[in-house]
Amino acid sequence: MAQKYIRKATVSSRFTSHRLPLRNSNCFFGTDTNNNEQAQRKVGYLKKEINRKIGKAIHRFGLIERGDSIMVAVSGGADSLTMLYFLHQWKKKAPIDFEIMPVFMEMGYNGKRISRVLQGYFQSLELPFYMEETDYALYAHGSANRGKSPCFLCSWKRRKRLFQLTQILGCNKIAFGHNLDDVIETFFLNMFYSGEMSTMLPRQEMFNGLLTIVRPIVLVEKDKIKRLANKLGLPICENLCPSASKSKRNKVRQILSNIYRQDKKIKGNVARALFNPRPEYLPEKLPPP
């Protein structure tokens, strides 16, 4: 029987409340009802392809090891739910023992229905899970953060709390559902707005090795994840953040999307370049002025 943990956490009881222009907190369990034999074969092919790429990432980057206790950060989107689905499958068939625990943080978007839907899904997998209600989104969009980026603050607070929860829940790794498109977008985001060549790593040790971040779907394209999540009937939940479409990341995504439409090979070429860098053909780092 899945064990549940639910609690509330707030930034501060003194912050200025701010009403967000929220949409309805909708979740849906897939929309593809085509069950003919040909459609099922396509689902099978897509499932195998994604599973193969996840396996490649796990083995190439050493993402899962014997005895790991992995916190799976679930947002309710297709990426994190697909990651959880495959990690659950790997747990059942892998030759090594490891544990996974899905964790969902409600950011203050009044997503009670999302919490209920995800709780039911976690219980159906018979996994221990943890859910926490926060006011991070309210704080990030409130007067205390006026004139600053709500995305940065909200993301920073969420990640900080997740790091704290790994200690409380006894996890040595935390799995994030960042996909191949996220890696590419982050590279250009950092180059355009921070003047550096860097991106998300498939595996990243934190706090002198006390915690390790892993990204199992790092080699999988976003559109394939969405298609499979829909066909599997995963409980995909709407992103309720009112700033989601206004972020710098979304601007970079639109730029890249326009470029990809010109040549379907471009995304693959960028991905190969990122995972096979040739530092000998890059200038040396300049000394500080």
Please answer whether residues 103 and 134 qualify as being in contact, where contact means their C-beta atoms are separated by less than 8 angstroms: no
- The 10s digit of each residue's pLDDT in 187-224 is 999 999 999 999 999 999 999 999 999 999 999 999 99
Q: Is residue 58 part of a domain?
A: yes
The domain tally of the chain equals 1
Instruction: Report pLDDT for 15.
Output: 28
Q: Is residue 219 part of a domain?
A: yes
Separation of alpha carbons 18 and 228, rounded Å? 37
Residue 53 belongs to what domain range? 4-9+24-243
Separation of alpha carbons 228 and 42, rounded Å? 10
Q: Is residue 183 part of a domain?
A: yes
Q: Which residues, given as ranges, of the chain have pLDDT below 50?
A: 1-3, 6, 8-24
Instruction: Report pLDDT for 12.
Output: 33
Separation of alpha carbons 169 and 211, rounded Å? 12
Q: Note the helical H segments in the chain.
A: 37-61, 78-93, 112-124, 136-140, 150-169, 180-194, 222-232, 248-262, 266-275
Instruction: Report pLDDT for 255.
Output: 97
Q: Is residue 260 part of a domain?
A: no
In CATH, what number is assigned to the domain containing residue 215?
Answer: 3.40.50.620
Q: Is residue 17 part of a domain?
A: no
Separation of alpha carbons 75 and 235, rounded Å? 11
How much is the pTM?
0.86
Instruction: Report pLDDT for 109.
Output: 73
Q: Is residue 48 part of a domain?
A: yes
Residues in the chain: 289
Q: What is the CA radius of gyration of the chain?
A: 20
Instruction: Report pLDDT for 5.
Output: 52
Instruction: Report pLDDT for 35.
Output: 63
- The β-bridge partners of 205 are 212
Q: Is residue 284 part of a domain?
A: no
Q: Is residue 46 part of a domain?
A: yes
Instruction: Report pLDDT for 274.
Output: 97
The per-residue DSSP string of 1-58 comes to ---EEEEE--S-TTSPP---------EEE------SHHHHHHHHHHHHHHHHHHHHHH
